[in-house]
């Protein structure tokens, strides 16, 4: 029994796929699912005319905009490994969702547009990965188009992100002139179009001891090949040394070039990733102890809550990262926050919009639990006698605020239900004015409000009126320090959803003025 569990846990690979919008993250996810046999056909992500959309973009607004605004979870098997992919929102307005998702994975795949290089959001997300010390694998995408010079991209990666890079392969040409990839790690050339550029239609051409293609091959007669060969030799002699340990510590990122759209280089990337990516890691508790994934007893934490993944059924799902042991449908667990016992009988695993009831899962897997309101983001659940409380997940202080009301006062019930459920997902935060109880919502980015308004109308049949309040500085104070007279036109007194008091300050000047007037009152932020 124990041996079987250990073997299952060791076969798990769980990673988040991160990038700036439009770098091709969703397309590469589709190709990976294709290799795992999870889907039969990869459609163009924004193919509105064909009605084909990425399997990971399930929300209607995502299909319309061609961007991901939620974290999707997908699972497939490949080469004896079970892979859990968490596709994250690339848009910076949804960074909070992405940060929490990064707490639930063991490695990250960073997708970079070869024409644009490192973009601001990539830099932001990368910092979180470094903070957690998780291994990062880089896929430089869109090689089928003309982009920046590969050497420029590698040096930009190292300088901007301050991480050592090791190219696992090297482009032979780019755009329309793309002939293939010089595979440094596997000592072969991967041919871009075997039917045109490959001898006898072969996908790979092996290299000899001098690092050149063996025998006669069409690619050998190109100056692009000569240049790639020179670059590859230069990189192996003068570049960073390859080190499994440095990859595992998140200090060296293996870099893969390819094109997700034409499915070139993706399979090689997947197979090499599986060779180097870590299995399930230990998780730290609030007591600063570690829980091993090979611990027999089950434990996990809720890193995401999503309402209405299937609008027809008005469902609400809590996403759980299993940290230890095995999950069996119908098992009894304890919810650490309330010490309440519960039976996990209604569970699911994901293939984006298609799902199936999960009977069994182990450490490293992501499962969904149908939830009637028991769970909150950050909750720990555990099997009896294990008694653990995992560390809190990051929560961010909102910067933009809106007053929100129901357009139709006769639909107050659906309005309140919608607000409460969407707030529990963690994308927006809810506040009430201290005296009148009027609703104010806060978010990290403007697009969050658009999604909130859209979902209120389409999922809860409640049109809302939103009045901008602009940027505010939110600062919490201890209830015992509160005096209602502290409130003014420059610092609005509100309560958060846990009835904790805070002020929404107009600007930095108003914050400093308050601190000067009340030097003994501590102002606190979330993160």
Q: How far apart are CA 165 and CA 231, in angstroms?
A: 15
| Six-digit token string for 290 | 């570690």
What is each CA distance from 522 to 30, 118, 150, 395, in whole angstroms? 49, 39, 51, 19
Does 371 show up as a binding residue in the annotation? no
Cβ count within 10 A of residue 293? 23
CB-neighbour burial class of residue 511 (10 A; exposed 0-12, middle 13-18, buried 19+): middle
Decide the pairing of beta strands 81-87 and 340-344: unpaired
Q: Which parts of 246-379 are beta strand (E)?
A: 252-257, 283-284, 290-291, 299-307, 316-324, 326-328, 331-335, 340-344, 347-351, 354-357, 360-362, 366-370
- Is residue 88 a known part of a binding site? yes
| Whether the Cβ atoms of residue 291 and residue 323 lie closer than 8 Å to each other | yes
Q: Is 36 annotated as a binding residue?
A: no
**Which of 204, 158, 202 lies closest to 181 in space, CA to CA?**
204
Instruction: Label residue 299 exposed, middle or buried (CB < 10 Å: 0-12, 13-18, 19+).
Output: buried
Would the annotation count 22 as a binding residue? yes
Is 176 part of any known ligand binding site? no
Ligand-binding annotation for 525, yes or no, is no
280 is in an annotated binding site: no
Residue 26 is assigned to a ligand binding site: yes
Q: Is 499 annotated as a binding residue?
A: no
The reply, when asked if residue 24 is annotated as ligand binding, is yes
Task: Confirm if 347 and 329 have CB atoms less than 8 A apart.
Answer: yes
Q: Residue 188: beta bridge partners?
A: 183, 206
253 marked as binding residue: no
Q: Interior CA angle at 165 toward 147 and 86, to 5°?
A: 80
Rg (CA), the chain: 25
CB atoms within 10 A of CB 500: 15
Query: Does 438 carry a binding-site annotation?
Result: no
The H helix count followed by the E strand count for the chain is 13, 30
Collapsed DSSP state (helix, strand, coil) of residue 244: helix
Task: Please tell me whether 330 is known to bind a ligand.
Answer: no
Is there a binding annotation on residue 142? yes
Q: Is 47 annotated as a binding residue?
A: no
Q: Determine the length of the chain.
A: 527
Write out the binding residues: 19-26, 87-91, 141-144
Which residues are annotated as part of the binding site for GTP?
Answer: 19-26, 87-91, 141-144
């Amino acid at each position: 029994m124990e041996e079987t569990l250990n073997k299952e846990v060791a076969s798990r690979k769980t990673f988040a796929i991160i990038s700036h919008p439009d770098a091709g993250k969703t397309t590469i996810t589709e190709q990976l699912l294709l290799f795992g046999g999870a889907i039969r056909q990869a459609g163009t992500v924004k193919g509105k005319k064909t009605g084909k959309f990425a399997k990971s973009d399930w929300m209607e607004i995502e299909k319309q905009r061609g961007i991901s605004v939620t974290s999707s979870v997908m699972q497939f098997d490949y080469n004896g490994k079970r892979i859990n992919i968490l596709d994250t929102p690339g848009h910076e307005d949804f960074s909070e969702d992405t940060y929490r998702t990064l707490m639930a994975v063991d490695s990250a795949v960073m997708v970079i547009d070869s024409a644009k290089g490192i973009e601001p959001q990539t830099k932001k997300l990368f910092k979180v990965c470094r903070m957690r010390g998780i291994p990062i694998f880089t896929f430089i995408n869109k090689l089928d188009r003309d982009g920046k010079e590969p050497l420029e991209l590698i040096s930009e990666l190292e300088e901007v992100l301050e991480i050592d890079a090791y190219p696992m392969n090297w482009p032979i040409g780019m755009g329309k002139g793309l002939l293939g990839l010089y595979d440094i790690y596997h000592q072969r050339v991967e041919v871009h179009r075997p039917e045109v550029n490959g001898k006898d239609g072969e996908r790979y051409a092996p290299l000899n001891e001098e690092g050149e293609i063996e025998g006669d091959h069409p690619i050998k007669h190109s100056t692009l090949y000569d240049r790639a060969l020179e670059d590859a030799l230069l990189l192996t002699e003068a570049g960073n040394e390859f080190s499994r340990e440095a990859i595992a510590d998140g200090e060296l990122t293996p870099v893969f070039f390819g094109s997700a759209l034409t499915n070139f280089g993706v399979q090689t990337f997947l197979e090499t990733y599986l060779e180097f990516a870590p299995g399930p890691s230990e998780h730290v508790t609030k007591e600063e102890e570690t829980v091993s994934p090979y611990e027999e007893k089950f434990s996990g934490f809720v890193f995401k809550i999503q309402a209405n993944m299937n609008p027809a059924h008005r469902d609400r799902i809590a996403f759980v990262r299993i940290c230890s042991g095995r999950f069996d449908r119908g098992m009894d667990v304890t919810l650490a926050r309330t010490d309440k016992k519960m039976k996990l009988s209604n569970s699911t695993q994901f293939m984006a919009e298609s799902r199936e009831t999960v009977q069994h899962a182990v450490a490293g897997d992501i499962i969904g639990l149908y939830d009637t309101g028991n769970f909150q983001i950050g909750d720990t659940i555990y099997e009896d006698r294990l008694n653990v409380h995992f560390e809190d997940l990051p929560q961010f202080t909102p910067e933009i605020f809106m007053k929100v009301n129901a357009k139709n006062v006769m639909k107050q019930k659906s309005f309140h239900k919608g607000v409460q459920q969407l707030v529990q997902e963690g994308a927006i935060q809810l506040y009430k004015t201290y005296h009148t109880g009027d609703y104010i919502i806060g978010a990290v980015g403007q697009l969050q409000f658009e999604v909130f308004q859209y979902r209120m109308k389409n999922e809860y049949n409640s049109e809302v009126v939103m009045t901008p309040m602009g940027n505010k500085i939110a600062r919490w104070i201890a209830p015992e320090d509160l005096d209602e007279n502290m409130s003014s036109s420059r610092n609005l007194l509100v309560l958060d959803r846990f009835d904790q008091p805070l002020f929404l300050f107009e600007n930095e000047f108003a914050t400093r003025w308050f601190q000067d007037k009340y030097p003994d009152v501590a102002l606190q932020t979330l993160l």
